[in-house]
Amino acid sequence: MAKYLLLKHYRGAPEAVNCVPMDQWTPEEISAHMQFMADFSGRLVKSGEFVDGQAVAPEGTWVRYDGEGRPPVTDGPFAETKDLIAGWMVIDVDSSERAVELAGELSAAPGAGGNPIHEWIEVRPFLALPPNFAE
C-alpha cells in the first residue's frame, strides 16, 4: 500500500468544466456536493483506503523562521495556497493506477445545477523513506 494526497483546488489547475464558485451554489447544490463527498469517503473507509480528508477554510497566514524569536507573519506577496487549495484527502491504495481512478471519481462531485464539476484533482504520492532509514 502507498499513500497519496488527492488535492482539490479552487484555482491554479486547468479550469473545471462546471466552474461556478461554491458561494454561488444553492443550498441544495451544496448539500448534494457534501453528501457526495461523505459517500465517497465512506466507501473508502469500508475498503480500508481512506486515511483522512478535510476541506480547508479560505483564511490563512504565511509564517517562516526569520531568526530567534522573530517569526514574521505575512499575507503575501507569495503564491497564496488559501486561494488555491479547497481541501485534500489522503488515501492508502495498492497502486498509482488506483489513486488516479479514485481521483477521477472524486472529480465527478456535483456542483452548480447538480452537474459534475469535472474539477482537476492533483494526485501526489507521499515520499517513501530510504531503505536504510532507521525508525
Whether the CB-CB separation of 75 and 83 falls below 8 Å is answered with no
| CATH of region 2-125 | 3.30.70.1060
* Local structure of 42: helix, strand or coil: helix
Question: What are the boundaries of each domain within the chain?
Answer: 2-125
pLDDT at 19 over 60: yes
Beta-carbon contacts of residue 81 (< 8 Å; ≥ 6 apart): 60
State the Cα–Cα distance between residues 29 and 110, nearest whole angstrom.
7
Q: pLDDT tens-digit profile of 32-77?
A: 999 999 999 999 999 999 999 998 877 776 666 667 777 666 655 5
Q: How distant, in Å, are the alpha carbons of 5, 7, 101 from that of 48?
A: 16, 19, 16
* Local structure of 129: helix, strand or coil: coil
Q: What is the pLDDT, as a whole number, of residue 72?
A: 64
Q: What is the mean pLDDT of residues 7-14?
A: 66
Q: What is the mean pLDDT of residues 15-24?
A: 79
Written as one letter, the residue type at 108 is A
- The reported pTM is 0.76
